[in-house]
Amino acid sequence: MHLPLKHKLSRRTFIRLGGGALLLATLPRCMRLNAESIDRVSIFHTTDLHGNILPTSSYDGVADLGGLARCAARLKEWRRLYPHSLTIDVGDLYQGTDVSLRSDGRIMIDCLNHLNFDAWVIGNHELDWGIETVHEAVSASNMPVLGGNLSLHDSRVWIEAERERSSLLPYIMREVNGYRIAIVGLTTPNMANWFLPDLTAGFAAFDPVPVMNSVMREVEAQRPDATILAVHMGVRPWSREDDAANRLFAITKAFPQIDAIIAGHTHRDQPERKVNSVVYTQANYFGIHLGHLELHFDRQTRKLAAIRPVTELMDKRYGLDPEVIALTRDAIDASEAHLATPVGILAETLQFVSRPAQPSPYERLIGSALIDGLRKRGIAVDAAIHGLLFTDAPLLAGEKTVADMWQVIPFENFVVTAEVTIAQLKTIMTEMFRNRNHRSLMGLIPIIEGSGESLAVAAIHHPDGSLLGDNQRVTIAINSYDAASGGSRFPTTREILSEGSANRILHRLQSRALLIEYFQNNSPVTIDSLV
């Protein structure tokens, strides 16, 4: 049972003086506890698995790390050591690997079901393959799926009267070791800037702060002994304020009664920090770290006395869980065979260095694939807009496989076409060139003036040098993520493409599939053949 709020705040301030790694011996003498007077509740957590079952590599290139199978082996050990526990995943569960894509994410849901997870939280990448996949994943889940600030089937999850139509829950309440633990689930509210409405019918994400008023009233009416926020949002190590995708500073300011935050989305290993005095922990990405949030309760007073968050590196010290391997072996074998499939020959190594108005050969390859794939389907386009996707290594000459195409395009973005005037295209490319994560224009050639914030596209012409007038209309191809503003980077682009005159069309064609097709149809691929 919680104390009244004014007492609760002082208690929480006391708990957090020493941080998440607070040792019981550091308590004031009058409140010092010994091991016999402590009850423990553990919450184990994963985040941003992105379809990784087997060990993978970190962004720094360190190999043989993480993966759900390795996390599962350690998770079972932890459950034996700490039997009073819950296990949750906080989102971006299934997008990111071929083996998961080939089953529309079902393989990851099956693994969490088998491992008896207590809940998982919807992440933004759950929407990458369209709303239909979300419905299927939620239906296949034996565990509750959390998303308190979401609307599914046009039903707002935080409103109790609408909840039964949504298939999602805003929180779960579980009794563990005699204590009532509330886990409230939220996801990033920035979905509208990542996905076009065509992909998300009946789904929406809302600012979690006003939503939490309703959810917390409902939770606190049930008198939990601890309230944990499980969120597909995060706080980067240097962050001291919110952004469009992450609202944890505002949430913790409005609801200081939250005991701890289990976070995700920002792909960081942050064992512990404070967000407005609330304990915060995040377990990295791809299962490279596994998280353990330990709650210590005073057995006599039954009050929360300490919070200890840790994350543990999942390296080769830990084996792979044989049950997860058995469950997924056939699918993994089929995926590995598919990834090894040759798609064609690259005659010359492609470099990745890109500058505004100077697209890299890497980008020209993607642009060529989009334009060629659409034209082969009778869709005439004049140019393509695309950028680099998390690559800093050249694409080496030689025989290329499906796995190489995943290196070039790691995300399942769909292709969008739209009609714009040259004046509008100049505005779009000016916005994109000014951004640190700029995009390039292939098929037409922009002429730029200035630099930095003063950079502007002064003119656009055909490859033969003929100038295009401002009122002339052209059809462009762009991926669905950038058409939706590229995560708030390109709001003017989204606005222009949303105009009725743009005739924006979402094609259910994935850019990676078009790239594979391009190699199959145009091998050997040479630099001179690229737009």
**221 has a pLDDT exceeding 90:** yes
Report residue 389's pLDDT band, with 50, 70 and 90 as the boundaries.
confident
In a domain, 8, yes or no: no
- What is the Cα–Cα distance from 249 to 255, expressed in whole angstroms? 10
- What is the Cα–Cα distance from 331 to 99, expressed in whole angstroms? 6
Same domain membership, residue 504 and residue 520 = yes
pLDDT of residue 34: 66
- What is the Cα–Cα distance from 150 to 184, expressed in whole angstroms? 13
Same domain membership, residue 306 and residue 286 = yes
Range of the domain at 230: 46-335
pLDDT digits (tens, 9 = 90+) for 343-387: 999 999 999 899 999 999 999 999 999 999 999 999 999 999 999
In a domain, 269, yes or no: yes
CB 17 within 8 A of CB 277: no
**463 has a pLDDT exceeding 80:** yes
For residue 177, which of 3, 43, 31 has the smallest C-alpha distance? 43
Same domain membership, residue 346 and residue 327 = no
Same domain membership, residue 276 and residue 314 = yes
CB 384 within 8 A of CB 476: yes
What does the mean pLDDT of the chain come to?
92
In a domain, 12, yes or no: no
Same domain membership, residue 390 and residue 280 = no
pLDDT of residue 35: 67
* Beta-bridge mates of residue 475: 419
Q: What's the N-to-C CA distance of the chain in angstroms? A: 67
Same domain membership, residue 208 and residue 61 = yes
State which of 287, 313, 335 marks the end of a domain. Answer: 335
CATH number at residue 522: 3.90.780.10
In a domain, 414, yes or no: yes
Q: Which residues, other chains included, contact 326 with Cβ-Cβ below 8 Å and sequence gap of 6+?
A: none
Same domain membership, residue 236 and residue 162 = yes
Same domain membership, residue 293 and residue 357 = no
For residue 282, which of 265, 263, 266, 267 has the smallest C-alpha distance? 263
In a domain, 393, yes or no: yes
Report residue 11's pLDDT band, with 50, 70 and 90 as the boundaries.
very low
State which of 281, 303, 335 marks the end of a domain. Answer: 335
Which phi and psi angles does 315 have, rounded to 5°? Answer: -110, -165
Lookup result for tokens 């055909």 = 462
Same domain membership, residue 351 and residue 305 = no
**170 has a pLDDT exceeding 80:** yes
Q: Which residues, other chains included, contact 63 with Cβ-Cβ below 8 Å and sequence gap of 6+?
A: 55, 56, 57
Q: Which residues, other chains included, contact 66 with Cβ-Cβ below 8 Å and sequence gap of 6+?
A: 52, 55, 56, 58, 284, 285, 286, 287, 288, 289, 314
Written as six digits, the tokens of 390 are 């998390």
pLDDT of residue 25: 31
Q: In 188-334, which ranges are E strands?
A: 204-205, 226-232, 260-263, 269-275, 278-283, 289-298, 304-313
Single-letter code of the amino acid located at 49: L
CATH number at residue 276: 3.60.21.10
In a domain, 30, yes or no: no
pLDDT digits (tens, 9 = 90+) for 226-271: 999 999 999 998 888 999 999 999 999 999 999 999 999 999 999 9
Same domain membership, residue 218 and residue 107 = yes
Same domain membership, residue 387 and residue 292 = no
pLDDT of residue 26: 32
pLDDT of residue 319: 97
State which of 280, 311, 335 marks the end of a domain. Answer: 335
Same domain membership, residue 438 and residue 310 = no
Q: How many domains does the chain have?
A: 2
In a domain, 505, yes or no: yes
DSSP string, 132-172: HHHHHHHHH-SS-EE-TTEEETTEETTSHHHHTTTS-BSEE
pLDDT of residue 8: 36
pLDDT digits (tens, 9 = 90+) for 107-166: 999 999 999 999 999 999 999 999 999 999 999 999 999 999 999 988 999 999 998 888
pLDDT digits (tens, 9 = 90+) for 290-330: 999 999 999 999 999 999 999 999 999 999 999 999 999 99
pLDDT of residue 390: 75
